[in-house]
Each structure stands twice: as structure tokens, then as C-alpha cells.
Structure 1
Amino acid sequence: MKKLTPVLYVDAIEPCLPFWVDRLGFTKTVEVPHENAIGFVILARDGLELMYQTWASAAADLAGATQRTQGRSAALYIEVANLDQVERALRGADVVHPRRKAFYGATEIFVREPGGHVVGFAQTG
């Protein structure tokens, strides 16, 4: 195995982009249209990669696979070097769990990105 890249399925990609690009400094490396909107996008920063695909694009592209993913959920957990900096960038985001010190030693904060997925940011050490 070489790499694991999460794909988040959403109704619309456009509302999610400012969260990753403007707030957190990710770059769009791939953008694929579907109908009159963005259907698929790859975002990258510092060796991290994240993909978004709309449900409509996935249904056209993957057919039966999307029926099994609807109603399922996953959260992202990203280790960062400077949680203070990330927390400043997240001001105004939907915080689902405020900054805390976890029992396993990480200091972390959890937010909900505009597509509805929970994203945790953690600093260790």
C-alpha cells in the first residue's frame, strides 16, 4: 500500500472550498465539472490530500457504489504542528467540540466543515 486519500461525498462542492482553500491553505490540484457545477475536486497541502465528489457525479461515475455509502459517515483527524494557528484560521467555523486535552495526550479541536463532515485538528507534544 502506498497512500490513503479520503473522498467526501457532498451535495455541492463549492460551499466546501473556502473552508479548505481560504482558511487552511489547501490548493485545488484537480477540478472536474459535472453538469453545471464542480463534480469532483482534489485538494492538497503539505503532503495531505483530500477529495470531494458530489453525490450526482458519483452516481453517474460509480453507480452502485454510492447506494452503499449513503447514510454512512466518517470523520477526518489531522495532526498539525501549530494548533493555535489552525484555530485562528477556523474562527467562525462550526465548532462541534472546543479545544481540549485528550486522554491520549493530544490537544485538539473538532469542527464541522460546510459539507457536514467532522474534522478534528490535533497537536501532540
Structure 2
Amino acid sequence: MNSIVSNLIVPSIEDCLPFYVDRLGFTRTVEVPHDGVLGFVILKRGELELMLQSRASVAADVAGLDPDGFRAALYVEVDQLAPIRKALTDWPRVVPERTTFYGAREIIVRDPAGNVVCFASRET
């Protein structure tokens, strides 16, 4: 295996783009329309890559798969939490910022589609 890219299944890609693009600094590299809206996008930030696919697009692409039956959680390792903390100053937290038993400092939020995104740093 060379890499794993997360594909988050969301009700609306357009509703999620401000979170990932405006707040977290990703750029759109691929866009695929579906029924007049975005059905799929690939987002990049440096070496990171993330895919978002609409529930409607999944239902059309993969017969028999219930797109409402699952979501994803992302664990994102970062060098420093300060830029994330600043970008998400007014964004609701799932839990207060914390240090785990394994020494990672974490900020955990949900994106607009309800997916859990955990930013973690082992900064000293």
C-alpha cells in the first residue's frame, strides 16, 4: 500500500467546502458534478488528500450501498495545533481540547456533515 485517502460521504459538498477550503486551507483539485451540484471533489493541502462525495452520488454510483448508513472519522496528525486552533476558534468542539494518555494534544470537531475530525500533535 502506498497511501490511504479518506472519502467522506456528506449530504452536501457545497456545505462542507467552507470548512475544508476556507478554514483549513485545502484546495479543490478535482470536481465531478452530479444532478446540478457537486457529487465528488478531491481536496489537497500539501501532501494531504481528501475526497468528499455526496450521498446522492454514492447512491447512484454504488447500487445497494446505503449512503446514510455510514460516515467517517479522520485522525489528522499536525506539527502544531496553534494554526488549527486559530482557524477553528469559533468552531464547536466535540470535547474540550485535551492531552491523551499516549501524549497527543487533540482538538476534536465535526465538519458540517457531522464527520468527526481529530487534529493531533505531539508537540512538546
Is the TM-score greater than 0.5?
yes
Aligned to 1:123: 121
**Could you say which residue in structure 1 is the equivalent of 2:97?**
99
Cα deviation for residue 71 of structure 1 reads: 2.2
Task: Tell me if structure 1 keeps the 8 A contact 2:9–2:71.
Answer: no
Q: Distance in 2 between matches of 1:31 and 1:108?
A: 31
Q: Which residue of 1 aligns with 2:36?
A: 36
- 2:21 alignment partner in structure 1: 21
Structure 2: distance between partners of 1:3 and 1:92: 32
> Deviation at 1:95?
0.9
Task: Name the aligned partner's letter for residue 38 of structure 1.
Answer: L
Give the Cα separation in 1 of the matches to 2:92 and 2:40.
Answer: 24
Letter in 2 for 1:32: V
Write out the 4+ residue segments of structure 1 that deviate beyond 3 Å after TM superposition: none
Q: How many residues align?
A: 123
Matches of 1:91 and 1:4 in 2, distance apart?
A: 29
Q: Which runs of 5+ in 2 are unaligned?
A: none
Higher helix share: 1
Equivalent residue number for residue 12 of structure 2: 12
Instruction: Give, in whole Å, the separation in 2 of the partners of 1:50 and 1:94.
Output: 22
Query: Normalized against structure 1, the TM-score is what?
Result: 0.92
Secondary structure at the counterpart of residue 118 of structure 2: strand
**Aligned amino acid, residue 47 of structure 2:** G
Normalised by the size of structure 2, how large is the TM-score? 0.93
Q: In 2, distance between residues paired with 1:97 and 1:46?
A: 28
Q: For 2:41 and 2:71, locate their aligned partners in 1 and report how far apart those are by CA, in whole Å.
A: 19
Deviations 1:40-73, CA, capped at 9 Å, x for gaps: 0001112111111111111111212x22x53233
